[in-house]
């Protein structure tokens, strides 16, 4: 019996008994409505809904007096593999129906029974039989960056004997896309916004229906294709072939653009244009692209992973919208991510994000993401993992959301493997200066630790077959071992930070620690200035976090789990100085902290490579 004005609780009676106090009781296993679970939100979201007749069976049990029972309801258990519409039809003659269980402590929705006909080969259950004879499973990496998340998933799957290949990747950062392509040459990498990518997928499906699936459709020849090629005027061109397709883009209207290889006067030029004058060329391009699967159609993707940016909830954003976070454009990529999942219907979904999605506004964004998956009839599991507990030498806490079709086994979050991360992550045998220019060098010494031996393995030894049986460029050498170059003032400051554990700007001349552990200028010591005339200790270091922070110009140490690797290599507000050298960490050292193998080379200027959001 619930409070007045609220719906009654729903449960299955498992036992009736009389207590020693001669009062009759019943033991009940409780059902949860969607609004009773973690996916309940304070404000309704209009892009999805939950069937009010659908409930979830839990393992929550307790004893209650018999007179608490108000009425009897008829609840039907339905096959979880049916779609939601079929479930609702079966349950039409019943008060309620259930198809999944709900585990309160782990925010998990999953199939109740284990007798699933189509068991997936991709499962974290140790006792599950893995079918390694299946064809290569396909992966789409959204907001891919340079490919850390998908690379880690593929390497992990390979260790389990599974063939998982990143077939498609999408990111708006051009340097990140080049890095991913150089390490995964078989991947179709798209440098565009995720919203444009979704629009392109829908348009691509229309083109495939028109030119591939409709066998009776014929593209009429255009006048240009019928005419013999003659000498071109300066304002004329001949389309040789279509080489790519995109949707919209910067300073372009929202429609399809084809990339044309065209002969203009006496030269060949390729460019994106709105183009429909050569249907035979379009048909040829679509049929070839469909065969090569340049873009996924619904049902083509086995695993979809990604970390949609949610900058609107960042602690650095003073104008965060606590009342309606999804109304902030900076958080809308979470909606786009779920819309792509809804359209493509992959077998598995893995979303990674900052912990703030579970903390900000009572976890509004985390609840929304989980709610969308459940509304789409996905099994779902939400949890938090710390990178340091799995062998990475950094303290990185992230939220992970798994989704799996009801015909699959919902993966579990792995148990922690480490309590303490030992020394050996960074390539400390190499002395690198602030002006280090060479980003490829030979290893000077053999690996001294198990981690160093592992991180130096070749692609083939890592079971990474991105290049087939061939050796990738740069393998066997130390690449990207160069730091972000500090300006002259910062370099002078870094040289004066003691090479000892816990050192930071507070160790510079003219700083003292006052009451409540607050850093301040020492009035008894004259202000020290650099050769440029700027102060040795800048004002921003003293004022950062009200003078209580130890991070400005902080030096890391060998036996420490470092803070989260962030998107800035600037030492002004981060503890990123090398333990024994006067510089910040190099690109390679940061990559190692994220778990990237040494053979994974990054593209672009050093600054761009430093700021990648890496995850492996």
Query: Token digits for 113?
Result: 């029974």
- Residue 531: its pLDDT value, please? 95
Q: What share of the chain is helix, strand, coil (3-state, %, to 5)?
A: 25, 25, 50
Does CATH number 3.40.50.150 belong to domain 137-197+298-405?
Answer: yes
DSSP track, 253-280: -SSEEEEEEEEETTEEEEEEE---S-HH
What would the mean pLDDT of 317-322 be, rounded to a whole number? 68
Mean pLDDT across the chain:
84
pLDDT of residue 122: 45
pLDDT at 610: 45
**Does residue 224 or residue 506 have the better pLDDT?**
506
Write out pLDDT tens, residues 263-273: 554 444 556 66
Question: Picking from 25-39, 71-85, 122-136, 522-536, which range would have the lowest pLDDT averaged per residue?
Answer: 122-136
Give the mean pLDDT of 105-134: 58
Instruction: Spell out the residues 6+ positions from residue 54 whose beta carbon is closer than 8 angstroms to its own.
Output: 34, 84, 87, 96, 97, 98, 99
Q: What is the pLDDT of residue 215?
A: 61
Alpha-carbon dihedral sign for residues 301, 307, 311, 315: positive
- Enter the pTM of the model: 0.86
Catalytic residue among 177, 305, 310, 616: 310
Banded pLDDT at 486 (limits 50, 70, 90): very high
Instruction: Identify the pLDDT of residue 125.
Output: 46
Q: pLDDT of 24-46, one tens digit each?
A: 999 999 999 999 999 986 455 77
The Cα 122–Cα 161 span in angstroms is 10
Average pLDDT over residues 209-224: 66
Q: Is 68 designated active site? A: no
CATH 2.30.30.490 describes domain 10-111: yes
pLDDT value of position 263: 57
- Predicted local confidence at residue 597, as pLDDT: 92
Banded pLDDT at 134 (limits 50, 70, 90):
low
CB contact at 8 A, 12 and 31: yes
**pLDDT tens for each residue of 429-460:** 456 666 655 567 888 888 888 888 989 999 98
Q: Which of 128-137, 189-198, 214-223 has the highest mean pLDDT?
A: 189-198
pLDDT (0 to 100) of residue 427: 45
Evaluate whether 429 touches 400 at the Cβ level (below 8 Å): no
pLDDT at position 46 is 79
Q: How buried is 539 (Cβ within 10 angstroms: 0-12 exposed, 13-18 middle, 19+ buried)?
A: exposed
């Amino acid at each position: 019996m619930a409070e007045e004005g609220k719906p009654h609780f729903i449960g299955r009676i498992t036992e009736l008994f009389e207590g020693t106090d001669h009062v009759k009781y019943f033991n009940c296993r409780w059902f949860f409505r969607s609004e009773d679970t973690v996916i309940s939100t304070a404000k309704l979201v209009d892009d999805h809904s939950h069937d009010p007749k659908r409930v979830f069976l839990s393992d929550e049990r307790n004893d209650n007096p018999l007179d608490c029972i108000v009425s009897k309801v008829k609840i039907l258990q339905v096959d979880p593999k049916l779609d939601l519409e079929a479930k609702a039809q079966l349950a039409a003659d019943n008060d309620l129906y259930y198809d999944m269980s709900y585990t309160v402590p782990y925010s998990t929705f999953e199939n109740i029974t284990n007798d699933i006909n189509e068991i997936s080969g991709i499962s974290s259950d140790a006792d599950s039989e893995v079918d390694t004879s299946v064809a290569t499973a396909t992966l789409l990496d959204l907001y891919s960056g340079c490919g850390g998340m998908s690379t880690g998933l593929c390497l992990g799957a390979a260790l389990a004997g599974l063939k998982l290949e990143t077939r498609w990747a999408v990111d708006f950062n051009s340097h990140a896309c080049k890095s991913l392509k150089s390490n995964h040459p078989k991947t179709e990498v798209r440098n565009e916004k995720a919203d444009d990518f979704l629009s392109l997928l829908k348009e691509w499906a229309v083109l495939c229906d028109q030119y591939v699936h409709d066998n009776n459709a014929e593209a009429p020849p255009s006048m240009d294709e019928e005419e013999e090629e003659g000498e071109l005027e300066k304002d004329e061109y001949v389309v040789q072939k279509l080489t790519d397709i995109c949707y919209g883009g910067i300073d372009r209207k929202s429609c399809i653009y084809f990339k044309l290889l065209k002969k203009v006067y006496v030269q060949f030029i390729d460019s994106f244009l709105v183009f429909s004058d050569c249907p035979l060329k379009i048909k040829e391009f679509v049929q070839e692209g469909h065969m090569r699967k340049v873009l996924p159609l619904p049902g083509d993707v086995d695993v979809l992973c990604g970390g949609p940016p949610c900058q609107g909830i960042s602690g650095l954003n003073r104008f965060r919208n606590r009342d309606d976070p999804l109304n902030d454009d900076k958080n809308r990529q979470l909606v786009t991510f779920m819309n792509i999942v809804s359209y493509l219907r992959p077998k598995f979904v893995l979303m990674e994000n900052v912990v703030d999605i579970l903390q900000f506004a009572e976890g509004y964004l985390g609840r929304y993401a989980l709610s969308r998956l459940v509304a789409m009839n996905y099994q779902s599991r939400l949890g938090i993992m710390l990178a340091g507990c799995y062998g990475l030498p950094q303290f990185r806490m992230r939220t992970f959301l798994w989704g799996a079709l009801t015909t699959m086994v919902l993966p579990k979050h792995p148990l922690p493997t480490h309590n303490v991360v030992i020394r050996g992550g960074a390539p400390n045998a190499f002395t690198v200066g602030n002006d280090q220019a060479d980003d490829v060098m030979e290893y000077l010494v053999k690996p001294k630790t198990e981690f160093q031996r592992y991180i130096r393995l070749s692609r083939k030894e890592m079971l990474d077959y991105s290049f087939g049986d061939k050796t990738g460029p740069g393998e066997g050498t130390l690449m990207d071992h160069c730091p972000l170059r500090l300006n002259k003032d910062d370099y002078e400051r870094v040289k004066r930070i003691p090479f000892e554990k816990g050192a930071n700007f507070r160790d510079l001349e003219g700083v003292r620690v006052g009451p409540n552990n607050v850093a301040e200028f020492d009035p008894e010591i004259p202000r020290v200035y650099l050769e440029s005339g700027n102060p040795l200790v800048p004002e921003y270091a003293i004022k950062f976090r009200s003078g209580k922070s130890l991070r400005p110009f902080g030096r890391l140490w060998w036996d420490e789990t470092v803070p989260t690797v962030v998107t800035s290599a600037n030492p002004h507000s981060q503890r990123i100085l090398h333990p024994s050298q006067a510089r910040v960490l190099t690109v390679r050292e940061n990559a190692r902290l994220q778990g990237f193998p040494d053979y994974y080379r990054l593209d672009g200027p050093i600054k761009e490579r430093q700021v990648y959001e890496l995850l492996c």
